[in-house]
Amino acid sequence: MTDLGRVTGDDEVLHTSTRRRRHRWASLGGAIVAAHVVLAFVAPYLPLQDVSEQHSDAVLQGASSAHWFGTDNLGRDVFARTLWGGRPSIGLAAASVVLAALLGFLIGTFAAIAGGGVDKVMMRVNDVLLAVPSLLVLLLVASFIGREPLVLIVTLAVMYAPPIARLVRTASLNVLTRDFVVAARLRGASRWELVVGEVLPNIRGVVLTEVAMQFTWILLAFSSLSFLGLGASPPTPEWGLMIAESRTYMSITAWPVAAPVVMLATLVLGVNSLVDRNGVDGAT
């Protein structure tokens, strides 16, 4: 009994230590995400150099007091362009994931409540969309329809809504079998009342986790599209486009590539840390 009690106590201490460590990482991740959002928002109001101004006498320079992150192949200030680069990336990814979350929630809850043949047909269509390579669709849309922000937002939302819809459906089916939902049905609650009053509060955590994950995928997809020349248009400062424009000059100076890569990587890392925190809280 003594050994068993000691082992159980050790496991509890280990679990608590692991949870605290993950919470610290989550706090760091939240700070990183907040810093990115704040920088993207206040960039136009900071005393930065013009992101489009070219200095022919200062091409591909290293870091200096005049240019903190050096200059690119056109003599533009990399520091200013890096801070501005978060605006199109974060803004478009946020708008896309909000629309994707709305579509996914509506599709998932409707399929779960309707059940039967409607549920099967909707999920088969959802599976087809899941099987289609997202980047390929984005390339086709950008090539034949255009790269306007609204077009990209809608396309990204449609392509990244299916994972959310599948998760929402599964979580909703689990909630709909609970006694409190059965009681609400017996009281005469409508489907809308069931969704808003019973289903949504009980699946909110897991849905937010999935939405955060899809945000990172959308962010990377848009940056990849810009890197391939079909996302943001020059001279727009956008991380993926900045990497594409400067990658051939890395042997001279790495700042124009390293700066946007670090910004993109830290943002994804920060969001993933927050997702990890939400998973800990949900398990607790």
Q: In the chain, what are the domain boundaries?
A: 51-267
What separation in angstroms does the CA of 230 have from each of 159, 163, 223, 280?
A: 17, 25, 10, 38
Please tell me the distance from the alpha carbon of residue 214 to that of residue 164, in angstroms, as a whole number: 8
Q: Which CATH architecture does the domain made up of 51-267 adopt?
A: Orthogonal Bundle (1.10)
Task: Specify the pLDDT at position 195.
Answer: 76
- Among 128, 126, 85, residue whose Cα is nearest residue 219: 85
Residues 168-222 have pLDDT tens digits of: 999 888 887 787 777 877 777 677 777 777 778 888 888 888 999 999 999 999 9
Half-sphere exposure for 109 (CA within 13 Å, toward CB): 22
Please tell me the distance from the alpha carbon of residue 28 to that of residue 216, in angstroms, as a whole number: 17
Alpha helices for 177-284 (secondary structure H): 179-186, 191-194, 200-227, 239-246, 255-283
Mean pLDDT computed over 137-150: 88
What separation in angstroms does the CA of 222 have from each of 124, 142, 164, 240, 258?
A: 27, 11, 19, 8, 18
Give the pTM. 0.84
What separation in angstroms does the CA of 129 have from each of 126, 138, 164, 250?
A: 5, 13, 12, 38
Please tell me the distance from the alpha carbon of residue 141 to that of residue 157, in angstroms, as a whole number: 13
**Residue 17: partners with Cβ closer than 8 Å, 6 or more residues away:** none
Residues 77-87 have pLDDT tens digits of: 999 999 999 89
* Residue 241 burial class via C-beta count within 10 angstroms: exposed 0-12, middle 13-18, buried 19 and up: buried
Q: Provide the 8-state DSSP code for 221.
A: H
C-beta of residue 101 within 8 angstroms of C-beta of residue 50? no
**Mean of the per-residue pLDDT values of the chain:** 84
- Report the SS3 class of residue 44: helix
Q: Provide the 8-state DSSP code for 254.
A: S
Which pLDDT band, with edges at 50, 70 and 90, does 167 fall under?
very high
Residues 221-269 have pLDDT tens digits of: 999 999 988 888 888 899 999 999 999 988 898 999 999 999 999 999 9
- Among 116, 114, 126, 51, residue whose Cα is nearest residue 81: 51
- Report the SS3 class of residue 226: helix
C-beta of residue 99 within 8 angstroms of C-beta of residue 154? yes
Task: Specify the pLDDT at position 159.
Answer: 93
What separation in angstroms does the CA of 197 have from each of 105, 122, 175, 204?
A: 14, 24, 12, 12
Task: Specify the pLDDT at position 282.
Answer: 46
Does the pLDDT of residue 2 top 60, yes or no? Answer: no
Cβ atoms within 10 Å of 123's Cβ, excluding its own: 19
Task: Specify the pLDDT at position 22.
Answer: 63
Task: Specify the pLDDT at position 272.
Answer: 86
Does the pLDDT of residue 34 top 60, yes or no? Answer: yes
Helices (H) and strands (E) in the chain, counts: 10, 0
